[in-house]
Structure formats: structure tokens, C-alpha cells
Amino acid sequence: MKRRSFLKAGTLLTAPLIIKGIPVMAAPSTGNDLLDVLAQTTYGCGKILVIVQMNGGNDALNMVLPLDKWSQLSAARSNILMNQTDTLPLNNNATTALHPAMPEMKNLYDNGKLMIVQGVSYPNPNFSHFRATDIWFSASSSTAVLDTGWLGRSLTLQYPGFPNGYPNANMMDPLAIQIGSTLPFSLQGPGINLGYNVPNPNSLLNVINGTTDPAPNNDYGRELSFLRLMKDQSNAYRTAIQTAYNVPQSQPATYPTSNALADQLKIVAKLINGGLKTPVYIVNHPNSHDTHENQVDVNDKKLGTQANLLTILSKAIGAFQTDLTQMGKADKVTGMTYSEFGRRIKSNASFGTDHGVGAPVMFFGASLNTNASDVAGTANPVPGMIGTSPNLPANATVNDQVPMQYDFRQLYASVMKDWLCLSDAETTSVLGSAFSTLPIFKTNAVLPLEGIELIGQYVNGEAKLNYKVEDNTHFVSFAVQFSDDNIRFNEVNNIVNTSLNNNESYYFNHPNEVKKMYYRVAGKKRTGEIKFSNTLILRSNAKEQLISVFPNPVTNFTLNVKLFEAPNSAVEVTIYSMIGAKIYYNKFNQPGTLLNFRIPPVTKNVHYVLEVIYDGTTAHEQIMFQ
């Protein structure tokens, strides 16, 4: 069995560090390629992202309540809807209220430390918990399953030669810390999986922990040797974690008791206070949000299962934000809630709700763009909220959904570019396509970060590469690296930096006929640290390149679509709304690489997905009409 397959099937078997009875898993990998690249690039940026997982599909309409759609809401879910007078109204937001179990988060909102992004989802949503989680944490479309190599690929991508030589002087702290329980990636997503599962895990643990015999020279033996190295490396991070955790706090916040989420966030706060440079933390809400039945107390609908879930969330985040403020680090940390999907507009007969589409994502922190003057004159001039109350039908059926307003990858792009110091090229490389950002963060929130931006194209049998270096004088050399699988990279060019210019461009042509090729640049800094560029993907088969749409946003409902090769078959063009509804279809048989056509008028200033199929290939592009 290959290493990546062997590891992908596994879960955590190496013993985690236990703090106050809670497992803390530290690794140079989150077990998720999106977060791994994000963490690797942002190490040293000075910003921290804390992700709060609300597993199970949270009922957003019973958390962020649309006051301006109350009559529609009441008609759709009278058996679970509380009285409007029980909700918590928000300052400067006449359309929206929070569940009464969330006074701490209302206080954050009213003080500019909470941002609500409405209607977050993706086209053609999937209602399986497992698949939906996988989509969110691989940043794939609903029709594509990304096999990114999982832990094996992430380790190789981030740490050349890992685990030999790590941690080291330039990388003393783990890049990601998961607190709480973990599951296999296929079930949960961003789990810190330092080992793997086999049919008899107890026997394997005995072998790992008890034997010093040489590993056999076979696939199993090689994986065992690798796991031993992984275990040693994981243990090496314990000292850094324990040292940070034991740094005293001058004025620690008071956290709620009997609240497992608060216990996790308290550990995160202590590690941040202790100076750990880890940029990504993942914590887990202890209870499932899969409330198909008995979501509320039938005698008092502001109470019940959902209220208990939101109480845990609100009290934990409120205490955490207070802790960050008291230690003077609130402006360096942003939190983000996530649930794999929302729930239906209409409740069911069991006093619950079933799997749905759009749901709000909440950001919390002191560097959010919640100043009223900053959003004045924008499409939705409500400080602390992006988007509007969901559009609800007057008489919702069981199939009606909370519509999507924003693609979750727009949030990822915003976090990466505006908070965690990634360049446009790096963000596009991680997400596989360019996504527009949202005004979530203050304009001055990003710290400067030197970087290497790699661009290029494949022409006449050569990969023509151009890499630009922002703070060029900080580097002594640059190595261009190539891979045909995005796992094993080999050096194909190396130059010594003799330029005295601060911003410099370098060029390199690499003859190559591999169908799919990956390039990156490793810059060696004067301190000895290695700084990687974004990973550039090129294809020798032009049909596999993305289409080009211009102008975008589209004017007068007239599209110009550029194909990267003249088609040998009919070209099928479909336009979908962001909730997957087909709004346009046509089949073109014209020659050449340029399609020019007009579609019937559609809603302006919202995003759509353009799908183009020809010669057995499929390409997608996000478009907007204005």
C-alpha cells in the first residue's frame, strides 16, 4: 500500500498531549490541504485564525433570525419558532436578531467584534454530512472529489525532508493545532492525524511503543518506520506547547464551567498568551447540531436542544474574546464558525429541521470591518453584516431552501488575502480558481510579508516561468522545483541572487511534455529560512486549461467566452445560479475559439457559475452581470 493511501485510511493513534484532560494534537499538517497550505504560507505573518467547527448542520434560521421576514418564518416553522419579543435585537441592524441563548455574542456584535456573513454555501450543495464536510475543507465543487494526497502530500509540500530535521531554529512551533477529538478526514475534515488505522490498532500501538526491532523491508515496515519518525516529531513539539501553556497570565478571563468548547478555547488562549506562533487552531463544538427532532422545548420554544448548543457556543466565544482583550492580543486573532450546511426553511412534524443549504458564517475578533462609516454607501450598509436577510417564500414547502448569497470559497479567499498575508497567486493556487473577496476585515489589518509570486504558461513544449520577489534583498538564492504529482519535487534550476533591487523578476524556461506539471520556487533567505512561492499548475494539453470570460462582470447580458483550443465537437454552455438552478443552456457548433452570445436578462450584481463542456472536458468560471 502506498504511503498516502495508507495514511489516508487512518486516524490518530500516536498519543496526543493531554492538557486538563483534553487532547491537543500538534503537527505541521492539519490533515487538510487547504488549511495546510494556508498555515504553511502564513507562518510568521503574525495573525492567527481560530476555526470553530459546529458539526452536524446548524439551524441558522434559529440562530440568526430575520426580523424583517418574521411572517414568512412563522408560517414555515410555527411549531419551533419562539416569540419575536424573545429574540436579541442587534445595534444598528433593524432586520436581524440573535437567539436569546447568545447574549455574549450579541454583546460582541454591538461592540464591533462580530461579523455575520449571510447565506454561505456553494453551487449544487450536497446534504451528506460526510461529503459536505469534505467539500468545505477541500474547497472542491460539489461535483468534484479532490484527492490532494492528504497527510503524506501535505507533509512533503510543507516540510521538504520531513520529519528529519524538524522542528528546527526556523520552525520551532507547529503550524496547526487541533484541540479536542479527531476523526478520519473522510468523516471530519481538518483532523490532525499523526498515524493511521489498521484492523488491529492495539497490536500496532504495542509495536510502535514497545519494540525497537528493525522494521521489515516491505510496505508495512516502511510505513512503520515513517510512523515512528512522525511520532518522534510530534513528541518534539510538546516542549514548545507545554512551555507556552505554562506562561502565567496577569489577568486571565473567567471561562464557563461544564463547557467543553470553552475548555478548548481556554487552552488556545493560553498558548497564544505564551507566545506560540502557530497560525491555525481548530476547536470542536462538543455536541451535534443535527437536530431532526426535538430541536426546541415544545412548552418554551426559546429553550431546548438548539438553545443549549448556542449557549455553549456563545459563552465560550465570549470568554475567549475577553481573554484575548485582557492579554492585549485581540487584534491579532480572528475566529470563524463553520457548519457543513444549514437546514430547511420549513420545520418538520418532529419539532426539528432537515438538511438545507445557505447558512450564516460568523467571524469574531477586534479587527473586523464593522465601522459604520466603512460600509456606508455599499450594497448592504449594515455594520457587522454582509448580505441581507434570507429571501423566504410566503408559504415555504419542504423543498424550499435558504438561498445562497456567497460562495464559502469567497470567505476563504478573504481570510487568506486580507488576514493571513497570502498573495493573489497563492490564494488562487490554493482554491484552484480566483474568487472575489468580501470586506470582512479592516483595511489595515494585514501585516506586510515578503513573498515570491510564481506565474507562467506552457508554450511550444516549454513551461515559461516568471517569479517575482517582493523583498529580493532578503534572499541569497532561488531554486525552481518541478513535480509531476505535487508530492515529490526536484530542483531543475538554481541561481545565486546578485541583484540589489528590492523588487525583482526572474525568468526560467523548462522543456517539459508531462501532461500535468507543478512548479514552485524555494527562496533561501539570509537567515537560512526557506520561503516557498505558490505552487503553479500547468498543463501541456491546452484543453484542460480554464476558459476565459470577458468582460467580467458581464455587461448587457452579452458574454465573450474564450476557449483555449478550437473545439472538435459542439460546445455546451450552461449557466447556473449559486444554488444550482439552471438559468441558461445552449449548444454552439461554430468554429474558432471565441463564443459571443447574449442571454435573457437575469438578476444583476449576484454571482453565477458558467459551465462550458467541449471535447470531453469541462470548465467552470464564476461570473456576474452588471
The pLDDT of residue 235: 55
- In the three-class reduction of DSSP (H, G, I as helix; E, B as strand; rest coil), residue 542 is classed as helix
- What does the alpha-carbon distance between residue 499 and residue 450 come to, in Å, rounded to a whole number? 16
Residue 438: count of CB within 10 angstroms of its CB: 20
CATH homologous superfamily of 452-539:
Immunoglobulins (2.60.40.10)
The pLDDT of residue 123: 78
Strands (E) across 392-443 are located at 406-407
Backbone angles phi, psi at 206, to 5 degrees: -60, -40
Backbone angles phi, psi at 438, to 5 degrees: -115, 150
The alpha carbons of the chain give a radius of gyration, in whole angstroms, of 25
HSE (side-chain half, CA atoms, 13 Å) at 266 = 20
Closest among 34, 52, 37 to 138, alpha carbons compared: 34
CATH topology match: 452-539 vs 542-624: yes
Host H or E run for residue 282: strand 280-284
Q: Is the separation of the CB atoms in 271 and 244 below 8 Å?
A: yes
- What does the alpha-carbon distance between residue 316 and residue 320 come to, in Å, rounded to a whole number? 6
- In the three-class reduction of DSSP (H, G, I as helix; E, B as strand; rest coil), residue 103 is classed as helix
- What does the alpha-carbon distance between residue 21 and residue 286 come to, in Å, rounded to a whole number? 14
- What does the alpha-carbon distance between residue 20 and residue 326 come to, in Å, rounded to a whole number? 22
Host H or E run for residue 618: strand 617-624
The pLDDT of residue 493: 96
- What does the alpha-carbon distance between residue 430 and residue 260 come to, in Å, rounded to a whole number? 32
The pLDDT of residue 420: 78
Q: CA 274, 278, 280, 281 torsion: positive or negative?
A: negative
The pLDDT of residue 198: 23
The pLDDT of residue 232: 52
The pLDDT of residue 169: 57
Q: Is the separation of the CB atoms in 348 and 421 below 8 Å?
A: no
3-state secondary structure 6-64: HHHCCCCCCCCEEECCEEEEEECCCCCHHHHHHHHHHCCCCCEEEEEECCCCCCHHHCE
Looking at domain 542-624, its CATH architecture is Sandwich (2.60)
Q: How far is CA 489 from the centre of its chain?
A: 25
The pLDDT of residue 334: 95
Question: Average pLDDT by consecutive 10-residue portion of the chain (626 residues)?
Answer: 34 49 60 58 72 88 94 93 95 94 96 93 69 57 44 32 52 68 32 27 29 53 54 60 83 91 90 85 84 90 94 96 92 90 88 88 93 69 88 89 86 84 71 81 51 74 83 90 83 92 85 85 85 75 60 85 81 73 80 86 78 74 78
Q: Which residues pair with 539 in a beta bridge?
A: 516
Q: In degrees to the nearest 10, what's the CA dihedral of 61, 64, 65, 67?
A: -140
Domain ranges within the chain, ordered by starting residue: 3-431, 452-539, 542-624
- What does the alpha-carbon distance between residue 522 and residue 492 come to, in Å, rounded to a whole number? 11
Return all residues near 139 (Cβ < 8 A) that are at least 6 apart: 34, 146, 408, 409, 412, 430, 431, 432
- In the three-class reduction of DSSP (H, G, I as helix; E, B as strand; rest coil), residue 506 is classed as strand
Count of residues in the chain = 626
- In the three-class reduction of DSSP (H, G, I as helix; E, B as strand; rest coil), residue 318 is classed as helix
- What does the alpha-carbon distance between residue 530 and residue 158 come to, in Å, rounded to a whole number? 11
- In the three-class reduction of DSSP (H, G, I as helix; E, B as strand; rest coil), residue 217 is classed as coil
- In the three-class reduction of DSSP (H, G, I as helix; E, B as strand; rest coil), residue 165 is classed as coil
Return the ∠ at Cα 238 (arms to 270 and 269), rounded to 5°. Answer: 10
The pLDDT of residue 154: 27
Q: Is the separation of the CB atoms in 522 and 595 below 8 Å?
A: no
